[in-house]
């Protein structure tokens, strides 16, 4: 075998794809060829150098990992099944949301219904679609109107109850505090994408 062929065998040994016969040929050749021995050694040294250097690369950001995990949960986690077998948790969620809704001002509209903030629904009417969000059942899309701070509280509460408790990403908010002149916002909730704010005006 010539050195060019042996070089390929060195590479195949390095990747664990060499056969026994090829290994024997390689060992025999390396005993007699200093140049191929040097190449074999250089390959090992290069690999070590690359591994050392790669270990100092940064890691994916916290936000990136969070987005991936949330998408994974939405796509395949059996949320409905899980909730069906844990009624105490569902009841606790309902109580938590009831508390949320009695202290905050919201107007919740199923999709395709025009927004009308003056038409406040009853507590029970408002809780039912929110529970549907948490359990992953229909309706999967809601429009909720209120002020920015209150909607942030509600969005975080929904996320927490979905076992996806994460800090609300700051870059999604135009401003962390309410402006002096009250500006209503709309929270669009879609079970596939999670919460999204829209500011009026």
Partner 1 sequence: MSSVGQIEAGEKRSSKLEISDEQLVGLYLKGDIKALDELIIRYKKPLYSFLWRLTASGTEVDEIFQETWLHVIRKASSFEQYRFKGWIFKIAYNLVIDWSRTKRGHLSLDKTSEYADGLQTLADTLPAPGQSPDAQAANGDLRKAIAQALASLPGEQKEVFVLRMDADMSFKDIAEIQGTSINTALARMQYALTKMRKLLSPLHEGSERPV
CB of 178 to partner 1, least distance (A): 27
Burial of 87 (0-12, 13-18, 19+ CB in 10 A): exposed
Q: Which of residues 74-133 bind partner 1 (CB under 8 A)?
A: 75-78, 81
CB of 177 to partner 1, least distance (A): 24
Q: Which of residues 155-184 bind partner 1 (CB under 8 A)?
A: 164-167
Nearer to partner 1, 30 or 188 (CB): 30
Q: Which of residues 41-70 bind partner 1 (CB under 8 A)?
A: 41-50, 52-62, 64-70
Query: Per rule CB under 8 A, is residue 30 in the interface with partner 1?
Result: yes
CB of 72 to partner 1, least distance (A): 5
Q: Which of 1, 12, 98, 188 binds partner 1 (CB under 8 A)?
A: 12
CB of 171 to partner 1, least distance (A): 13
Nearer to partner 1, 119 or 163 (CB): 163
CA-atom Rg of the chain in angstroms:
29
CB of 36 to partner 1, least distance (A): 9
Residues that bind partner 1 (CB under 8 A): 4, 7-8, 11-12, 14-17, 30, 37-50, 52-62, 64-73, 75-78, 81, 164-167
């Amino acid at each position: 075998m010539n050195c060019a062929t042996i070089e390929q065998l060195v590479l195949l040994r390095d990747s664990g794809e060499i056969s026994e016969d090829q290994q024997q040929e390689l060992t025999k050749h390396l005993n007699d060829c200093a140049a191929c021995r040097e190449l074999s050694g250089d390959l090992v040294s290069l690999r070590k150098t690359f591994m050392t250097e790669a270990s100092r690369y940064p890691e994916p950001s916290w936000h990136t990992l969070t987005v991936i995990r949330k998408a994974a949960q939405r796509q395949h986690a059996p949320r409905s099944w899980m909730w069906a077998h844990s009624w105490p948790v569902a009841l606790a969620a309902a109580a938590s949301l009831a508390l949320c809704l009695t202290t905050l001002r919201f107007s919740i509209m199923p999709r395709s219904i025009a927004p009308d903030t003056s038409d406040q629904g009853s507590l029970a009417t408002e809780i039912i679609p929110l529970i549907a969000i948490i359990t992953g059942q229909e309706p999967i899309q809601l429009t909720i109107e209120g002020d920015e701070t209150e909607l942030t509280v509600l969005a975080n509460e929904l996320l927490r109850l979905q076992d996806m408790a994460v800090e609300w990403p700051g870059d999604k908010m135009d401003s962390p505090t309410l402006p002096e002149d009250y500006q209503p916002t709309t929270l669009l909730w879609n079970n596939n994408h999670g919460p999204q704010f829209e500011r009026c005006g």
